[in-house]
Amino acid sequence: MEQIWAPWRMVYIGGDHGGDKCVFCEKVQSAEDEKNLILLRGDKTFVILNLYPYNNGHLLVIPKRHVGDIEELAVEEMTELFQMTRKMVRVLRSYNPQGFNVGINMGRAAGAGIPGHFHIHVVPRWVGDTNFMPVFGDVRVISESLEGTYKKLKEALAALEAQE
């Protein structure tokens, strides 16, 4: 049998996923954007790469304010969330995806990994990007490092902002 190594998953497996601290709030309060994989900051929101992506380029658009439900968002936050989501779809087009999943999981029962802090997932998709691995091996194969993805998306973001 062939083995697939994913040692970075130990951070997640062995990590503290409970407690009082919100990982999104901690990251946005830090000034270390590259270390925290923060791609972009707005007035009310920020964009971060997903540490446990479904595909290369899977990112999250998050309000800076700690709110857990769409009903708690202010109009200004909702507006900026969708402006940032649209902008990041444009940036992710540099990966030449054939489609996108843009979604919100509210509550643990709906699949929210961090249910206490609202966020939008943006996942680039390609025809045939799923295979037997998640079904039989409970494993996803991501072909690019988070650091490599971060660098590429920062470059694509800079190019887009230079055009605007």
Q: How many domains does the chain have?
A: 1
Write out the residue range of the structural domain in which residue 109 sits: 9-163
CA distance 96 to 123: 12
Q: What is the pLDDT of residue 11?
A: 56
Contacts of residue 59, Cβ cutoff 8 Å, sequence gap at least 6: 39, 47, 48, 49, 50, 88, 92, 121, 122, 153
pLDDT in tens, 63-82: 999 999 999 999 999 999 99
C-beta of residue 57 within 8 angstroms of C-beta of residue 93: no
Annotation says 119 is catalytic: yes
Within 8-132, strands assigned E span: 38-41, 45-49, 59-63, 99-103, 120-125
As to burial, measured by CB atoms within 10 angstroms (0-12 exposed, 13-18 middle, 19+ buried), residue 30 is exposed
Q: Tell me, yes or no, whether 4 lies in a domain.
A: no
Residue 28 lies in a domain: yes
Predicted TM-score (pTM) of the model is 0.84
Q: Examine residue 2 and state whether it is found in any structural domain, yes or no.
A: no
The predicted-structure confidence for 26-54, as pLDDT tens digits, reads as follows 999 999 999 999 999 999 999 999 998 88
- Whether residue 152 is contained in a domain is answered as yes
* 84 located within any domain: yes
* Rounded-to-integer distance, Cα 58 and Cα 10, Å: 20
Q: CA 139, CA 59: separation in Å to the nearest integer?
A: 19
CATH number of domain containing 64:
3.30.428.10
Catalytic residue among 58, 117, 119, 121: 119
The alpha carbons of the chain give a radius of gyration, in whole angstroms, of: 16
